[in-house]
A = this chain, B = another copy of it.
Amino acid sequence: MAARKPRTSVRGRVTIEEVAAAAGASTISVSRAFRGSARLSPDLRARIENAAAALGYVPDRAASALASARSMNVAVLVPSITNMVFVDMLAGIDAVLSQARYQIIMATTNYCPAEEQRQLHGLLAFRPDGVLLTGIDHLPGTLNLLKAPALPVVHMMELNHQVGSYSVGFSQDEGGAAIARHFVGRGYGRIGFVAAQLDPRTLARGAGFRRALKEAGLDAPYELMVPDRSSIALGATLLDRVLTECPDIEAVFFCNDDLAHGALFRCQRLGIAVPQRLAIAGFNDLPASSWTVPALSTVATPRHEIGRKSAAMLLDLMCGRTPEAARLDLGFTLHARESS
């Protein structure tokens, strides 16, 4: 017995056992005190907290996870953190999960489904209690990984219409359509769509844009789509190509604000009047968009709220509660500004 009860841990860390000894309590009571459990007299709790503070005790999540089958980790997969959109979403997620004592374990997929599966596999080693995925398009293998441990999953940014799946987002397709209708309302004739980083959400925006133009009886738009990662520099480059390939263009929908900013700056540089000579619209409403001159027309997306609500929904699922709705549409807001 003595061998099983070292008063000083082997590895030089303060363990629950030392705290228990110092507080004159049992290990399980220390464990309970740290998990905020009820069923502990104020006196014992105080003694334990004092002892823990004095010894500098830090709980060990690994041991806790192993013993309890709950890791209090949540795996989050986002395409990129260089994209402000996902950073805002992450902030929303963290706000809700850290409140509930969960820790985010995050990885980036680089917009690649295969990389998503690889990264998820890696994150599963943390035995997360739930998973947040960006988007609704995943490899079969990715979803398979989640089946065996029956992990709760919430899909973010898009709306998943598959039964049994949970999602929080808005209709990317409708967002694209909103820009199209705005262009139509302003009377633009020759219209273009420029996209990069052709992820499912970008493509959905393009589809909605096209559909709405068609519904309004207009010609199919001029389209320029490249697989490269979106950036301001790429937006500038693509604007040049648009002007070369389609000189009579009147309005262009750039699939996101990064590209639109690049195009806007390029127009300034070239002395092209926006919106008189060329109207420009973006998507997402980044902070810069309302400050550029001219201010950028764009669709504001509720990404922070998407993060919050996704986390809340996952929290429900992880606690065995049934979320109010399996699909939460948070909508979007068209901001018609000076650039169109």
- Per the CB 8 Å criterion, the residue count for chain A at the interface is 52
Interface residues of A in 2-40 (CB under 8 A from B): 11-14
> Are A265 and B236 interface neighbours, CB within 8 A?
no
Interface residues of A in 45-85 (CB under 8 A from B): 56, 58-63, 65-66, 69, 71, 81-82, 84
> Are A288 and B261 interface neighbours, CB within 8 A?
yes
A232 at interface by CB-CB < 8 Å:
yes
> Are A127 and B62 interface neighbours, CB within 8 A?
yes
A106 at interface by CB-CB < 8 Å:
yes
> Are B69 and A66 interface neighbours, CB within 8 A?
no
**Given the contacts A82-B91, A122-B103, A149 and B12 also touching, CB distance less than 8 Å:** yes
A287 at interface by CB-CB < 8 Å:
yes
Question: A131 to nearest B CB, angstroms?
Answer: 13
Which residues of B sit under 8 angstroms from A56, Cβ to Cβ? 145, 148
* CA gap between A267 and B205 in the complex, in Å: 34
- The contact of A60 among B84, B127, B293, by CB within 8 Å, is B127
Name the CB-closest residue of B to A14. Answer: B148
> Are B82 and A82 interface neighbours, CB within 8 A?
no
A44 at interface by CB-CB < 8 Å:
no
Scan A209-221; emit 1 where CB is below 8 A from any B CB, else 0.
0000000000000
> Are B82 and A71 interface neighbours, CB within 8 A?
no
A333 at interface by CB-CB < 8 Å:
no
Known: A62-B65, A265-B292. 7 other contacts (CB 8 A): A62-B63, A62-B127, A66-B66, A106-B106, A232-B291, A262-B291, A288-B288
Chain A positions within 8 Å of B, measured between CB atoms, are 11-14, 56, 58-63, 65-66, 69, 71, 81-82, 84, 87-88, 90-91, 94, 103, 105-106, 108, 121-122, 124-127, 145, 148-150, 231-233, 236, 261-262, 265-266, 268-269, 287-288, 291-293
Q: List 25 A-B contacts (CB under 8 A).
A: A12-B149, A14-B148, A56-B145, A58-B121, A60-B125, A60-B127, A62-B62, A62-B126, A62-B127, A63-B66, A81-B87, A82-B87, A87-B87, A103-B105, A103-B122, A106-B106, A232-B291, A233-B287, A261-B288, A262-B291, A265-B288, A265-B292, A265-B293, A269-B293, A288-B288
